[in-house]
Chain A
């Protein structure tokens, strides 16, 4: 090929994001793709499906790790892995606080959601929401700037809202205000579409 000859346009397929209906992890990944404007093709599946193929190939049964992303011949499953992939792919800036202290706070709030918040036990949930509401008193976002912590918590509230449990959090004014703001910043917050972002 000559130095100035036109190279063939690279044909790349849109990555497929396999989500599970009503699954918080799936919404987290979908919101991240939407916020970072990563084109992904969403495929919703029912919760009754069997193991993800990745765990199966390693002979780890019943892990049912979702969502999964398929990009060409690469597949990975599970919220943590898929979010990492979606946060590096694409041309828009990665969501990653530059200051170590802000990064630590982001991770703290993600861990708080995973390990301390449960909507099943009202008292436990209330303690975490009370602290979160206080944090949001004078901050636009959970750690000051928009971070993955906002995406994680927004997905949790989205699933609670969709399942008619918004009363768990809508008595907290700062959380409600923050969520209203987040809804305007994540383009596909309310949409279950075939394709997200362009």
Chain B
């Protein structure tokens, strides 16, 4: 089997000798994770945030800038059902945001993100469900117009009618989030949970795609998002997980940032 990760690592310019632990000075006894995804894909962003939150270094390769000519074929070798993004850890491969985030959460240095209390855990997943089922399709319409279609056709300019309609359709869910955040530091309680992680990926994409009004017009959402942008990763290291998110420019260029932990 072709090792797509190796091919993309080479294309990304991540040379073998720059790889984590290659010089023998391992910072901790764990492998570096490798991820293949796209900056306009919320699932990829969720994997990156989880990795940063849990203090796991992750080399990220973009399907846009680091892709190989037979990318789809290589991905279907890795993931027979074409579920993406894909992750590699040593000899283990897995695909899909649900699998990758669960794996990274279990492997990582911080406490697990799911609350132990049954009611809080259930509420967390109610909000995850809203994000994945109801918010994601509208965000996809926006990111497809603003970023994705440009990847294959640089002259493409976004159809603003599609963007505005999706923006309008998202209002009901942002209103509900705003209501939920009344009196709460994070979405379900005063602790950061999966609900915050999922929503922050979608909210970030809305923001960098130019739909800032969804955030700015809702005080609780705005305050919550500012907290997300500055909170230290829960693994205890001096890192802000949100700093690993792509900027508007990077998303337009199809670039992904790798998760590098500097402070052990």
Contacts and interface: CB of A to CB of B under 8 A. Distances in A.
B83 A111 contact: yes
B119 interface: yes
A110 B114 CA distance: 18
B83 A84 contact: no
Contact of B129 (A61, A69, A80, A106): A80
Contacts of B130: 60, 63
B95 A108 contact: yes
B98 A108 contact: yes
Contacts of B102: 100, 103-104, 106-107
A88 interface: yes
Contact of A111 (B96, B114, B122, B175): B96
A88 B179 CA distance: 27
Contacts of A103: 102-103, 106
B99 A76 contact: no
Contact of A104 (B99, B126, B172): B99
A100 B96 CA distance: 15
A131 B114 CA distance: 30
Most A-side CB within 10 Å, residue of B102, B107, B122, B179: B122
Given A60-B134, A85-B122, A116-B83, A110 B98 contact: yes
Contacts of A171: none
Contacts, number: 106
Nearest to B116: A88
A84 B124 contact: yes
B65 interface: no
A58 B81 contact: no
A108 B124 CA distance: 20
B128 interface: yes
A69 B116 CA distance: 18
Contact of B119 (A74, A111, A112, A116): A74
B24 interface: no
A76 to B, nearest CB: 4
B176 to A, nearest CB: 4
B212 interface: no
B125 interface: yes
Given A104-B103, A110-B98, A80 B172 contact: no
B13 interface: no
B121 interface: yes
Interface in B65-88: 80-83
B122 A76 contact: yes
Interface in A82-128: 82-85, 88-89, 100-101, 103-108, 110-112, 115-116, 127-128
A76 B80 CA distance: 35
Interface in B93-121: 94-103, 106-107, 114, 116-119, 121
26 contacts: A59-B179, A60-B134, A60-B172, A60-B173, A76-B119, A77-B126, A78-B126, A78-B129, A80-B126, A81-B122, A81-B124, A84-B122, A84-B124, A84-B125, A85-B122, A89-B118, A103-B103, A104-B103, A105-B99, A107-B96, A107-B99, A108-B99, A111-B96, A111-B98, A112-B83, A127-B81
Interface of A: 54, 58-61, 63, 65, 69, 74, 76-85, 88-89, 100-101, 103-108, 110-112, 115-116, 127-128, 131
Interface of B: 80-83, 92, 94-103, 106-107, 114, 116-119, 121-126, 128-130, 134, 172-173, 175-176, 179-180
Given A76-B119, A76-B126, A100-B106, 15 more contacts: A58-B180, A60-B134, A78-B129, A81-B124, A81-B129, A84-B124, A85-B119, A88-B117, A88-B118, A107-B103, A108-B95, A111-B96, A115-B96, A116-B82, A116-B83
| In the complex, the 10 A-B pairs of residues with the closest C-beta atoms, listed nearest first | A100-B106, A104-B103, A85-B122, A88-B118, A81-B126, A107-B98, A58-B176, A108-B99, A107-B99, A104-B99
